Structure 1
Amino acid sequence: MTETVETSKISRVLLFGALVIFIIAIAIGASRNFGSASEPTAATGLNDIDVNAAGPDAVIASLEERTRKDPTDVEAWQLLGWSYFENGRYLDSANAYGKATKLEPARAVYWSSLGESLVMADERNPMPKAAKAAFDKAIILDPKDPRSRYFLAVSKDLDGDHKGAINDWLELLKDTPKDAPWESDLIRTIEQVGKIHKVDVTESLASTQKKRASDLSGILKSIAAAPIPGPSKTDMAQAAKLPPGQQQQMVTSMVEGLETKLANNPKNVDGWIMLMRSRMTLGETAKAKAALTKSIAANPEAQSKLLKEAQILGVPGT
């Protein structure tokens, strides 16, 4: 049991440790691929902060003030939860995400973020009951939610169902974009848990990779599944060096910049697909669905392509 707990403590942070850099890469790639935007501005609700000078404490203080002024501001609670988490304040993060779930209980990403914060906040129990309940809620709302799928597999591993956990991680791997930053960590988790519990994963892992290659070959021209265009190693290194509070600001401002450009040029079908991809990666499923609706309205002749790409991304209702 000790080995299982230790393995799960390590594996619970592997998959999503690189997620913020992946999101930034999408934002950079989208911006570069569809025309350079003006210098990014601060994220919505943070315009009163000098993002070039403000550190994480200033961002958190501003968000705390925003929630005091308007306790019903769900976006502020989400951003505050994110900022707390990025600064290692996991219990505070859980409290903020808890507020978000009460304000918008139908948003899966709020529940899975709450669950992850609760996992990280508990140094003794690798899967607290409240965290498990949050992941269960999220997976009901969105069966494709990757964070919940990952941690629910961790829960199976902790309960002794090692094969079941590995199978769930393999299923998640099938849905993981090729060359996603967390891909190698997810594979490593499968291999590590298999080795510890003497479960041979060689054949199943090879079969999954073969299936992924086959699926990708059938959608090679898909914008939704294509490699992220544009970001160089320098871009990625610079993104990684950003203070945690500014990473979210950069992501939000760049994605909103793409949305602004699409408002001015709504006939850019590929731009709409990149916007949907960015929104889904951020967990903003409602905004991704809204982008799909707008894209079809502006490009009725491309409805079939837009719907197909949205299905690949898992946009709700497709």
Structure 2
Amino acid sequence: MSGTNGIKAEKAGGLTGINRAILVAAFALLAAAIGYSVWRDTTPAADPAAEDVAAPRDQLAAIEARTAREPNSADAWTALGAARFDLGDFAGAIAAYEKATRLSPDAAGLWSALGEARVMASERDPMPAAAARAFDKAIALDASDPRARYFLAVKKDIGGDHKGAIDDWFALLADTPEGAPWEADLHRTIEQVGAIHRIDVAARLASTRPRAPTADEMPVAARAIPGPSRAEMEAASQLPKGQQDAMIAGMVDGLEAKLKANPADVDRWIMLMRSRMTLGETAKAAQALKDAMAANPGATARLKAQGQLLGVPGA
């Protein structure tokens, strides 16, 4: 895999090919605080010179302005950490997440997000002590935090306990909601580590299934914005990439406009979060979650469960 993940692996002296693979797979673990999409590193941009850079940086400026206005808002610092992480500014993400954890020290997802940023910012150590401490803190607050569990298994594998790491990943797989964004990558990691270290995992993989989603987790997180008709899809496929992007953005913005008119539609809020995460707009997804909970306090548990499944920052 190319991009920043590959660069980091080259810098991390002593990393094996499988350690590179498991660190890369970690970024599909979209649970709790950061929604980082692996496809952004594997799908080449139509124009690497820059067509998609301005919007995230403009968005970053708006989020930074929010932290200046609301310096005691953990949500604002969380959104800034997510935005900086998405831009590859891992040192900046660390600084933002450290402020968020000081303001909201009991949020496990923030600690695991901080740990992930510390891993990515490290030039040579694939599992810095500070990152491990953040993951330990996350687990102490929430033993089910998927990202912390994943990375602590990575730590075992790096330390030579390959079987222990595989066992931990199997346990995480068994606790993973079916269809979760990280399910396939976790499955693949187990296969790869097993193959490299000659540990037979085939039978266990065949018998281990992700759990059924809870009532709060299904079915809306699996859906996105209401889809176009077949004719609209066929027409869209003929458009240049820029126009396709504009069409998608228009659909998402239209969904958001409908929510302003009817903020009580919880399913549409979840669709909006999903759409923003799919577009890599993690800060906007976080804002959608915040707005949805404010408009629907009785649905807070469901919204947070859906947000965690989608990897919305602050869920």
Q: Normalising TM by the smaller chain, what interval? A: 0.5 to 0.7
- Please give the alpha-carbon distance, in whole angstroms, between the structure 2 residues aligned to 1:256 and 1:132: 42
Among all aligned residue pairs of Structure 1 and Structure 2, give the percentage whose two residues are the same amino acid: 42
Q: Deviations over 1:257-311 (max 9, x none)?
A: 7698463x6xx8xx49969x97xx9899x97999997149xxxxxxxxx99xx79
Match of 1:229 in 2: 223
Q: Tell me what 1:159 maps to.
A: 159
Give the equivalent residue in structure 2 for 1:41.
none
Distance in 2 between residues matched to 1:61 and 1:175, nearest whole Å: 38
Q: Cα distance, 1:152 vs. partner? A: 0.9
Query: What is the TM-score with the length of structure 1 in the denominator?
Result: 0.62
Structure 1 segments unaligned to the other structure (5+ residues): 23-51, 297-305
- 1:137-152 to 2 correspondences below 5 Å: 137-152=137-152
Alignment of 1:44-193 (within 5 A): 55-193=55-193
1:207 corresponds to: 207
Code of the aligned partner of 2:20: K
Question: In 2 relative to 1, CA 260–137 (structure 1 residues): closer, same or farther, beyond 3 Å?
Answer: farther
Distance in 2 between residues matched to 1:157 and 1:294, nearest whole Å: 42
Query: Of 22, 25, 34, which residue of structure 2 is paired with 1:11?
Result: 22
Return the alpha-carbon distance in structure 2 between the equivalents of residues 256 and 3 of structure 1: 51
TM-score normalised by structure 2 residue count: 0.62
Secondary structure in 1 aligned to 2:132?
helix
RMSD: 4.5
Shift of 1:256: 11
SS in structure 2 at match of 1:177: coil
Q: What is the letter of the counterpart of residue 168 of structure 2? A: D
Letter in 1 for 2:169: W
1:9-68 Cα distance to aligned partner (Å, 9 max, x none): 33223243484488xxxxxxxxxxxxxxxxxxxxxxxxxxxxx99622222222223323
SS at match of 2:97: helix
Cα deviation code 1:125-170 (max 9, x no counterpart)? 1100000000111111112211111111101111111111111111
The question of whether the paired residues in 2 share the 8 Å contact of 1:272 and 1:292 is answered with no
SS at match of 2:222: coil
Q: Amino acid of the residue matched to residue 154 of structure 1?
A: V
Cα distance, 1:224 vs structure 2: 2.5
CA distance in 1, matches of 2:119, 2:53: 32
Instruction: Give the deviation of 1:196 after TM superposition.
Output: 1.3
Distance 1:144 1:91 in 2: 27
Instruction: Give how far 1:77 is off.
Output: 1.1
Are the aligned partners of 2:259 and 2:269 in contact in 1 as well (CA < 8 Å)?
Answer: no
Q: How has the CA–CA distance of structure 1 residues 223 and 75 changed in structure 2, closer, same or farther, with 3 Å as cutoff?
A: closer
